[in-house]
Structure 1
Amino acid sequence: MANAQVRQARASDADVVGRLLREFNDEFDTRGPEADAFARRFHQLLDRPDVLVLLAENNSHPVGFAYLTLRPTPYYDGLLAQLEELYVRPDLRDQGIGTELLLESVDAVQARGACEVHINVDEVDVDTRRFYERHGFTNIQPGADYRMLCYLREL
């Protein structure tokens, strides 16, 4: 890995995480809040027990993050985790930082009682799909021969 350390983000990291999320959205021309609005929301989210944000840093400089939420589910006695976002700055990709963020994310939510992790990926994002598949994620339910799809509707 590119000398990056992964740690759990604190409320004091909300501005950093907000900027990283805005960078991520800008990279893919995704509309949404500006960095300061993201930061304001992360100030609240980072104190919640059902939210986990891991921050990757290189020499105390933020280089990526993973944002996860946890919720109850009737399918397990434990929780369902959703990897909402995983981002590594483009110039530092392919150095193991994303893998470290993903592996530590899975370990952290499992320690909090999660029994399954969901991730939504755009179909056209082949590299990201390969990344998650390489780490054991699938879009085919065990025993099925068709892909799972995610639908959304903004309200």
Structure 2
Amino acid sequence: MEKVRVATPGDAVVLGRLLADFNTEFDAEGQDADAFARRFSTLLARDDTLALLTGPAEDPTGFAWVTFRPTPYADGPLAQLEELYVRPALRSQRIGTAIIAALRAESRRRGALEVLINVDADDTDTRRFYERHGFSCLDPDSGSTMLCYLGSPDA
């Protein structure tokens, strides 16, 4: 299985490049790699964030960006998988699976209550990937479908 390592602030430039590639692939509007790298250099120094990288340091094959936030439902945090990206030519080689395994291990180590992931409803490949790894869009208590709502702070 692919080796996964925890990123450091020194990895900010490669993470910025990977996030820019992710946004380009999915036609998402966003800042450029330099802006992402600048933010990653600050964010990676925090205790409530985590970036995981696979592949060679100079040219990683994939990454995950995770935040940990407090919750009144547990003594530990809630882990939020913000982004998971594997270079398109390298998909279906278990790189994403290795990243998910490392994310789960780190979440357990931090005492996280659960891992939360938001996925676009029409992104069926990604939904299948997470479902194959035991994630569900159904509330475990009620069985109802969970939704994510976004809004501007200015609204």
Aligned twin of 2:15: 17
Q: Which amino acid aligns with 2:132?
A: R
Aligned twin of 1:50: 48
Which whole-Å CA distance do the structure 2 matches of 1:47 and 1:154 have between them? 27
How has the CA–CA distance of structure 1 residues 148 and 65 changed in structure 2, closer, same or farther, with 3 Å as cutoff? Answer: same
- Post-superposition Cα deviations, 1:71-113, rounded to whole Å, max 9, x if no partner, equal 1101112110000000000000000000000110111122012
Moved more, 141-150 or 16-25: 141-150
Identity of matched residues, %:
58
- More strand as a share of residues: 1
Deviation (angstroms), 1:43: 0.2
Q: Which amino acid aligns with 1:134?
A: R
Deviation (angstroms), 1:26: 0.4
Aligned twin of 2:70: 72
Unaligned runs of 5+ in 2: none
Deviation (angstroms), 1:58: 4.4
Q: TM-score, normalised by structure 1?
A: 0.94
- Partner SS for 2:55: strand
Aligned twin of 2:146: 148
Matches within 5 A, 1:1-155: 1=1, 4-58=2-56, 61-155=59-153
- Partner SS for 1:104: helix
How has the CA–CA distance of structure 1 residues 59 and 72 changed in structure 2, closer, same or farther, with 3 Å as cutoff? Answer: closer
- Partner SS for 1:65: strand
Which whole-Å CA distance do the structure 1 matches of 2:14 and 2:58 have between them? 11
Unaligned runs of 5+ in 1: none
Contact 1:53 1:66 in 2 (8 A): yes
Which whole-Å CA distance do the structure 1 matches of 2:58 and 2:94 have between them? 17
**Equivalent pairs, count:** 153
Q: Which amino acid aligns with 1:123?
A: A
Which whole-Å CA distance do the structure 2 matches of 1:69 and 1:98 have between them? 18
